[in-house]
A and B are shown apart, each in its own frame.
Chain A
Amino acid sequence: MSDRLLEIRDLKVTFGGLDALSGLNFHVDEGEIVSVIGPNGAGKTTFFNLISGLVAPTEGEILFEGDSIVGLDPSIVTSLGIARTFQNVRLFPNMTILENVMVAQHCRTSQQVFGALLQTKAFKKEEAEIRQRAEEVLGFFGHRLVGYRMDQPAFVLSYANRRRLEIARAMATQPRLLLLDEPVAGMNPMETAELTELIGRLRTEWGFTIVMIEHDMKVVGKVSDRVVVLDHGVPIAQGSYEEVSTNPDVVEAYLGRPVEANK
């Protein structure tokens, strides 16, 4: 039990009388990569919103490293070590790429007004560290986000690069748990393959534990230790990719009930 990084018990959330999630039990161990899959409307993004504190659950517990994080502000959740990306890529479009990543280190740094005004040693040191760390994180994605690009506004980036920058931004918050919401959506096969490999390296090189929502089964199969299938806000299956992909309930959720099953 000691290595449970995130544990969720009987989580339920209701929007206007509709259960978006009900009775969800879930856990992630330190160092795991878990994929959450499920058809559209299964409540996957709501699940992420709940963990990151954007939405408060109606019932249930979310424990991060054994402590409840229910009802905490998103910024506090992030500072505790949970970072996320967004399904529909939400960067700070008019800030430069470098600034996007620098600003994400807000909760790991502490300088206030007076440091900036007096240009104290501590301030300068911290700024240098922020910058160095930002470049380090951006460098993880090869040459795409560094060099002359660093000073360009984020909105000039291509779609794939925006996704990469968003992951970089999440990495810069120095999380222990990384929540990736459809990281390869909209990428071409080559880019997908590359990012899949990078997700693996996020664990091995950076030591992140990862929970990922993904529709691309190739990616899911390649990197996940465990797959959780949600349907209508309820987990219908859990296990390794092989187990899950042959589970009849899962097939049913995705493809509908086979005709002969009605007999």
Chain B
Amino acid sequence: MSTHALTTKSAKRLAAVDRFLTFIRVFLVALIVVGLLAFIWQQVDADNPFARWRNPDARGLTGDQFKGLLISGLSQGSMYGLIALGYSMVYGVLGFINFAHGEVFMVGAMTGFIASEKFAANGMWEQNFILCLLLIVLLAVFFSTFTAVLMERIAYRPLRNSPRLIPLITSIGVSFFIQNFVLGLFGPASKSYPRLPEWLSKQRSILTFEIAGTRLLVLVVAAVSMAGLWYVVERTKTGKAMRAVAEDKEIASLMGIDVNRTIVTTFAVGGAMAGIGGILWGLMFRSVTHMTGFLPGVKAFTAAVVGGIGNLGGAMAGGISLGSAESIAPMVILEPLGVPGVSQLKDAVAFTVLVLVLLFKPSGLFGERLSAEDRA
């Protein structure tokens, strides 16, 4: 309670910085509102001068285009969500950002590539796709989990009681190492997953949404994994131990909980989720390199913050919001404002969302769940 009290900042501040921040807030909101208005205008009447104000060749989006953006945002976002779970859980339990978690995801995608390529080479990929898919998911989960656990054991465990920036810096080093180790092992070339069977990749129509089968698969797998994770965390003894350790490590250990084991479990579960995410990434984008983990990793962290760090449902929701925002916002807000080449700014939009959330609601959309000491 007292910690909470101390972080409550006074309402009346006179510093110039705050006026400036207010200005930034107002500016960003105004930008979004104007963009949206211009977009709506475009949709209603593309010849209207306001619609043409910034963007003379405005056409507006068709309903199908919009649905397409939404679907791609959702499927991409659910992948961010899967990775974000790992960030969120580790932050909840240990209070630091595991910057290398994106690499765990990359290891999953890479494993998936190697295995699927082997399967494709001996024809099994086409004959029995479902079995192959299960096998590559299992392998990816195994290697991702292994990477995550190993990294906890070697790099993070000795640093458990150091100032919070120290493990963060270490994790940056770990991330660098894994990236370049994978580069050394498998070379710099971009690797392509084998072609997916026709019945999976073909377009389907569900509730008037045209959706590629792969994306549907992504959404389903993400939903199932999330449900599984929720069950583990909320309903099992291990989950209870995790929540206890997140609240207070010392007290948890006094209550007879094996803190080390629980932390390893946390890393393992986060790694497994990232591994699944890696496979989904491979199926969806079909290409993997050693750098695949970096941007999705940072964005997944963003998603975790957007949803409220330490909050698992929040991580998933944050991922989906972030994915949708970065897929829709360039077309809906930036394009009507006359910004050319908006697709290049997708990543910039994602980071702007992070800044926006931290400016307006630092504890995330769904509230953070941290122990008292981590909140300081």
Contact A15 B6 (CB under 8 A): no
Cβ-based interface call for B206 (8 A): no
Contact B15 A15 (CB under 8 A): no
Contact B9 A15 (CB under 8 A): no
Closest CB of chain A to B165's CB: distance in Å? 15
Q: Mark A205-220, 1 if CB is under 8 A from B, else 0.
A: 0000000000000000
- What total of chain B residues lie within 8 Å of the partner, measured CB to CB? 13
Tally inter-chain residue pairs, CB-CB below 8 A: 36
Cβ-based interface call for B11 (8 A): yes
Measured CA separation A71–B8 after assembly (Å): 11
Cβ-based interface call for B235 (8 A): no
Measured CA separation A239–B355 after assembly (Å): 53
Closest CB of chain A to B4's CB: distance in Å? 6
Contact A73 B4 (CB under 8 A): no
Cβ-based interface call for B237 (8 A): no
Contact B13 A15 (CB under 8 A): no
- Give the size category of A's interface with B: 10 to 19
Cβ-based interface call for A8 (8 A): no
Contact A20 B5 (CB under 8 A): yes
Q: Mark B1-43, 1 if CB is under 8 A from A, else 0.
A: 1101110111111110000000000000000000000000000
A15-B1, A16-B1 known; A56+B15 contact, CB < 8 A: no
Residues of chain A within 8 A of B5, CB atoms compared: 13, 15, 20, 46, 49, 55
Contact A71 B11 (CB under 8 A): yes
Measured CA separation A13–B1 after assembly (Å): 13
Q: Mark A45-80, 1 if CB is under 8 A from B, else 0.
A: 110010001111000000000000011110000000
Closest CB of chain A to B176's CB: distance in Å? 29
Contact B4 A16 (CB under 8 A): yes
Measured CA separation A164–B285 after assembly (Å): 64
Closest residue to A46 on the B side, CB-wise?
Answer: B5
Closest residue to A76 on the B side, CB-wise?
Answer: B14
Residues of chain A within 8 A of B8, CB atoms compared: 55-56
Measured CA separation A13–B5 after assembly (Å): 10
Measured CA separation A262–B43 after assembly (Å): 77
B residues neighboring A (CB under 8 Å): 1-2, 4-6, 8-15
